[in-house]
Amino acid sequence: MTESLLTITDLSIDSLRDGTRRRIVEGFNLSVRAGEIYGLVGESGSGKSISMMASVGLAAQGLDVRSGTVNFGTRRFAASDQKSLRGNLSHGVSLLFQNAKGALNPFITVGKQVERVLRRRRRSDIQGELKELFRVVGLNYADLGRKYPHQVSGGQAQRVAMACALATEPALLIADEPTTALDVTTEREMLRFLASICRQRNMAVVLIAHNLSLVSEYCSSLSILHAGQVVETGNLAPIFAEPLHPYTQGLIAAVPDVDSPRELVPLIGSVWGGSSELDRCRFSHRCPHAMPRCERRIPPAVKRDGREVHCVLYEQEVSA
Amino acid sequence: MNMQDSALLPAPATSGAPPRRSMWNRFYFGLFGGDFLGLIGMALLAVLVFVAAFGPLLVTHDPLLTTPDTLLPPSAEHWLGTDHFGRDVFSRTVTSLRIDFIVAGAGVSGAILIGSIIGLVCGYIGGWFDDLVMRLVDIIQSFPLLLVAMVLVLVMGPSVESIVVVTVLINIPIYARVIRGETLRKKNLEYIDAARCSGASEMSIVFRHLMPNTLSPIVVHGSLNLAAAVGNVAVLSFLGIGIRPPTPDLGVMVAEGTNYLVQGAWWMSICPGLVLATTIFSLNLMGDWLEGRLDPRRSAA
Amino acid sequence: MNDLPSLSVRKLTKLFSDPDRPDAISVGVRGVSFDVERGEVVGLIGESGCGKTTLGRCIVGLQSADSGDIVVGDTIFSALRGKALRRFRKNVQIVFQRPETSLNPRMSVYTFVRQALRNFATVRKGEERVRIEALAALVGLRPDTLDRFPHQLSGGERQRVAMMRALACEPELIVLDEPTSALDVSVQAQVLRTLKDLQGEVGASFLFISHDVAVVRYICSRVLVMYLGVIVEEGPSETVLAHPVHPYTQALLAAAPRITPKPDPGLSLTGELVLGDVRPHECPVRPRCPLAHDRCHKAPPMADLSSGHRAACWLAHDSAPSTNMTTARERT
């Protein structure tokens, strides 16, 4: 097993709004190896984007990073020092967002935008490198380089954003729902392309998604988040083959299947519906197996078949 | 429905009990979002409005009564001194404040009413009607305040009413434009279509569904506009084309007082001038606070 | 009226052209015809820009068509004007996609839903509360939700309120324009379950518009696949989604995300829809179709394949027979 590129340990984040403090990410751990696509899955509001942003020093205003350390390569940072994190990680990490058109400057041609990013790193042969970058993301510089963002399609805009992200030759790419705004047929192409780039450049990707079926094909490992707590994490194959956490099971059962009209089993309630107590399993209010113990402490991590599941159900089995 | 559906009932939108906070915290953070200047503005304005509202009960002297005691400095008898006709400056200031608030308030309300209807109808109907009416609004807007005021005073005579009409006329374009923009933005939203599918008539769509949703920017514009209107009334009166003496008005008082500044009777113009400045300042602070308060991005939080 | 379809769309055309790009083909709906039988749930699948939303809005009379008719029961809905139109709206309702804007932010849920009852005088005034509470139970909302305002509700709850409003006047047909695509997976499942139960309960026909093949498969008995304003394939869900004939349907199915990825997903289209590439009077899928050949420069006719299964592709008969036979055998 190769060394991990990015390791986040025990990241906790509070939100400060209207003078109240609320824990929105609790003890978040993550470890991504070079050349790997890592899936981070959760419903909206589960804290998946917030955790990743905070771990590269981009926590939004009104958020307070309480604890956590970030190891990037051989260096180690305290997550609470967002400024130094931002300064030190900005060269190694690139970001890709859902709304690519919104992320591009509407007044500058797409070619120039990529060029600007490129100039930060390189001094020579910028034009050659620019054409090469466009070729890598599957676009023709001669056709598209002089167009403005509103003149290109959604898929093309996402590829331009990708070119910007790749221009700095990052070791890690954080892709925050990069395909949500795209059509299904384009989405697949985009993901396949992301996977091939990742292989070629030995670049790590954290793919943030709200849907398990999106990460199923391209990720080797994943974490599933619920209300700021990791519920299940590890290798993808065992998790999908036999999901252990009730939330993972629920998520899989809730997605309609293209290949068969099987009945859906919806999860009840909503992500933040439970009480705001800190020391509890934050899924218990939606969990079919909830018991009094779930309300009393944060569920322990139980290791099994290449993954960790955070649920008291399995702790019992281990001790018994 | 069956048993499963009781399980399907969504959880209540509000989660758990909010942490208890003190009255002051709830007032300060809840209502003002921790905006200290907004709080100051509202406090000042509350005092001024109170004074204006209960003016007749607060005055110590008849504001119009001339006495031989001219140009007396502030004392226990005359809190802010007397003017060149021996009238009590405090009583006149209080009365002026009341009149100026009424004139500016009536003018701005009239402008809101007429301007909103113009904006709403133009935005909703669109087409040539919209073009025509909005060009007329442009024409009104292109006249300077003083010109409109002078023409109207010439036609209607110098009176409180003509100043109200000037204020209405000069401010209509602001509201017509703001509401039209808001209407254009909201008229294609799904809930308007939903109302149409629910069989709502065009009248009901415009006034029941569209209008309440276009009014929020008015609150902000209104309070900032009120500040400007109070200032304008004073300016017009100062220049002699607004409220005429002997009716007390802050602008008139400042104007009269300037003639006696050299004689050392500073209280005649400084006191009403300070009240005028405080009024405009507090209205502006309130406007800024409302703007922040009603910003959808902040209120959504 | 009972044997008439709930909805019959006849040669409906509504096109929008981009004044900045006169060379590009116009988007919208071009000459679409189909029926929705009483009590049927029909899915309309298509990607962005295929005209599915325009079609939905034309059907509920929020947009007037360039040509063609919308027939609801025995009434030509698209020919109605003024008061007659307003009164007839009772029969066709719509649920919109975006939960943020589908409810009037200044109205409580109760007032918002009540407007339909009032305007169409469906129930007497004294019985409104009872009726609305019954509707709330039907869509799975607690009675205390009725006095709330939209900003106090979650996305799923808002979509349920939108469904309540649509159901309030007991319509003949409800168009659901991507009602769950803005929702989270777990909430989507809750809403879909409710919709499925509802359909049996209220007996209205549903036209379910979506880009998500899996969702359509779950809820619909018959599907229409739309691309650039025309229906390219239609038929029973089981047939169309298990044995797609049209290359576009095949690509759509292949690209659909799955929990268990298929080892050999099959056909995929090249690139994205570029309006400038498509010529009028040719097969709209041609520029992206991996199977395109000379004949595709002429628009293919709808080919009848088996019980209600039709596809607009020159290769339909070539690729269909084998699958056809099997489905025919399975059915008998």
Query: pLDDT, tens digit, for every residue of A234-279?
Result: 999 999 989 999 999 999 888 888 888 788 888 888 887 777 777 8
Q: What is the pLDDT of residue B31?
A: 67
Query: C207 with C12: CB under 8 angstroms?
Result: no
Q: What is the pLDDT of residue C214?
A: 92
Q: What is the pLDDT of residue A1?
A: 47
Q: Are strands C309-311 and C303-306 parallel, antiparallel or unpaired?
A: antiparallel
Q: What is the band of C62 on the pLDDT scale with cuts at 50, 70, 90?
A: very high
For residue A184, the chain C residues in CB contact (below 8 A) are: 47, 211-213, 252, 255-257
Beta strands in A212-299 (DSSP E): 221-226, 229-235
pLDDT in tens, A30-83: 999 988 999 999 988 888 999 999 999 888 888 889 899 999 988 899 998 898
Exposure on the CB side of residue C243, measured as CA atoms within 13 A: 21
- Looking at the partner chain, which of B1, B10, B199 has a beta carbon nearest the beta carbon of C89? B199
**Residues 6 or more apart in contact with residue A272 via CB below 8 angstroms:** A45, A227, B15
| Mean pLDDT, chain A, whole residue set | 87
Q: What is the pLDDT of residue B287?
A: 83
Residue B4 has pLDDT above 80, yes or no: no
Identify the bridge partners of residue A209 per DSSP, sorted by sequence position. A41
pLDDT in tens, B152-186: 888 888 788 888 998 999 999 999 999 999 999 99
Six-digit token string for A243:
């999901």
Q: Is A258 on the interface with C (CB under 8 A)?
A: yes
Q: Across residues C285-309, what is the average pLDDT?
A: 89
Q: What is the pLDDT of residue A317?
A: 56
Query: C132 with C125: CB under 8 angstroms?
Result: no
Closest chain A residue to B22 measured between Cα atoms? A19
Q: What is the band of B6 on the pLDDT scale with cuts at 50, 70, 90?
A: very low
Q: Does B77 or B197 have the greater pLDDT score? A: B197
Closest chain C residue to A259 measured between Cα atoms? C242
The C-alpha atoms of residue B79 and residue B56 are separated, in whole angstroms, by 16
Chains contacting chain B through 3 or more C-beta pairs under 8 A = A, C
- Domain layout of chain B by residue ranges: 35-299
Residue B19 has pLDDT above 60, yes or no: no
ipTM here = 0.87
Q: Residue A3: which region, alpha, beta or left (left: phi > 0; alpha: psi -120 to 50)?
A: beta
Q: What is the pLDDT of residue A2?
A: 59
Q: What is the pLDDT of residue B173?
A: 93
Chains contacting chain C through 3 or more C-beta pairs under 8 A = A, B
Mutate to test the interface with B, among A16, A17, A18 (most CBs of B within 10 A): A18
Q: Domains of chain A, with CATH numbers? A: 4-92+177-183+204-319 (3.40.50.300)
The C-alpha atoms of residue A49 and residue A46 are separated, in whole angstroms, by 8
- Least confident range from A32-36, C60-64, C278-282: namely C278-282
For residue B15, the chain A residues in CB contact (below 8 A) are: 272-276
Interface touch A210/C212, C-beta < 8 Å:
no
Query: C29 with C15: CB under 8 angstroms?
Result: yes
Residue C230 has pLDDT above 50, yes or no: yes
- Least confident range from A239-243, B216-220, C182-186: namely B216-220
The C-alpha atoms of residue A153 and residue C46 are separated, in whole angstroms, by 17
For residue C253, the chain A residues in CB contact (below 8 A) are: 258
Name the minimum distance, in Å, from the CA of A69 to any CA of chain C. Answer: 31
Residue B5 has pLDDT above 70, yes or no: no
Distance from the Cα of residue A124 to its chain's centroid? 34
Nearest to A172 by CA among A3, A2, A27, A38: A38
Task: State which of A133-137, B13-17, B288-292, C100-104 shows the largest mean pLDDT.
Answer: C100-104
Interface touch C189/A255, C-beta < 8 Å:
yes
The C-alpha angle C211, C214, C215, rounded to 5 degrees, equals: 70
- Looking at the partner chain, which of C93, C193, C201 has a beta carbon nearest the beta carbon of B8? C193
Q: Across residues C304-326, what is the average pLDDT?
A: 74
Name the minimum distance, in Å, from the CA of A276 to any CA of chain B. Answer: 7
The C-alpha atoms of residue C315 and residue C247 are separated, in whole angstroms, by 9
Q: What is the pLDDT of residue B14?
A: 40
The C-alpha atoms of residue C319 and residue C306 are separated, in whole angstroms, by 13
The C-alpha atoms of residue C204 and residue C209 are separated, in whole angstroms, by 16
Residue C321 has pLDDT above 60, yes or no: no
pLDDT in tens, A111-125: 999 998 888 876 778
- Looking at the partner chain, which of A270, A274, A285 has a beta carbon nearest the beta carbon of B10? A270
Mutate to test the interface with C, among A259, A263, A265, A271 (most CBs of C within 10 A): A259
Q: What is the band of A208 on the pLDDT scale with cuts at 50, 70, 90?
A: very high
Crossing angle for the helix pair A154-167 and A184-201, to the nearest 10 degrees: 20
Interface touch C141/B9, C-beta < 8 Å:
yes
Interface touch B301/A18, C-beta < 8 Å:
yes
Query: B251 with B258: CB under 8 angstroms?
Result: no
Residue C2 has pLDDT above 70, yes or no: no
Q: What is the band of C124 on the pLDDT scale with cuts at 50, 70, 90?
A: confident
Q: What is the pLDDT of residue B168?
A: 92
Crossing angle for the helix pair C128-138 and C185-202, to the nearest 10 degrees: 120
Residue B50 has pLDDT above 50, yes or no: yes
Q: Across residues B47-51, what is the average pLDDT?
A: 90
Interface touch B194/C162, C-beta < 8 Å:
yes
Q: What is the pLDDT of residue C131?
A: 92
Q: What is the pLDDT of residue B2?
A: 36
Q: What is the pLDDT of residue B198?
A: 92
Residue C80 has pLDDT above 80, yes or no: yes
Q: Are strands A75-78 and A63-72 parallel, antiparallel or unpaired?
A: antiparallel
Q: Across residues A274-293, what is the average pLDDT?
A: 84
Q: What is the band of B216 on the pLDDT scale with cuts at 50, 70, 90?
A: confident
Q: What is the band of B116 on the pLDDT scale with cuts at 50, 70, 90?
A: very high
Q: What is the pLDDT of residue C89?
A: 93
- Least confident range from A14-18, A144-148, C30-34: namely A14-18
Q: What is the pLDDT of residue C24?
A: 78
> Is the peptide bond between C257 and the residue preceding it cis, with omega within 30 degrees of 0?
no
Question: What single-letter amino acid sits at A294?
Answer: C
Instruction: Provide the terminal-to-terminal Cα distance of chain C, rounded to the nearest Å.
Output: 31
Q: What percent of chain A has pLDDT over 70?
A: 97
Q: Is A278 on the interface with B (CB under 8 A)?
A: no
Q: Across residues C97-115, what is the average pLDDT?
A: 90
Q: Across residues B43-66, what is the average pLDDT?
A: 85
Q: Does B96 or C274 have the greater pLDDT score? A: B96
Interface touch A153/C272, C-beta < 8 Å:
yes
Classify burial at B189, counting beta carbons within 10 Å of its beta carbon; exposed 0-12, middle 13-18, buried 19 or more.
buried
Q: What is the pLDDT of residue C67?
A: 93
Q: What b/e readout covers A139-170, taking b as 16+ CB neighbours within 10 angstroms?
A: bebeebbeeebeebbbbbbbbbbbbbbbbbeb
Interface touch B300/C115, C-beta < 8 Å:
no
- Give the dihedral of Cα atoms C138, C140, C142, C145; nearest 10 deg: -90
For residue A251, the chain C residues in CB contact (below 8 A) are: 185-186
- Least confident range from A291-295, B16-20, B281-285, C269-273: namely B16-20
Instruction: Provide the terminal-to-terminal Cα distance of chain A, rounded to the nearest Å.
Output: 32
For residue C57, the chain B residues in CB contact (below 8 A) are: 193
Residue B280 has pLDDT above 80, yes or no: yes
Name the class of domain B35-299: mainly alpha
Six-digit token string for B257:
């007082």
For residue C151, the chain B residues in CB contact (below 8 A) are: 300
Name the minimum distance, in Å, from the CA of C301 to any CA of chain A. Answer: 24
Nearest to A251 by CA among A278, A279, A222: A222
Q: What is the pLDDT of residue C324?
A: 43
Q: What is the pLDDT of residue B11?
A: 37
**Residues 6 or more apart in contact with residue B131 via CB below 8 angstroms:** none
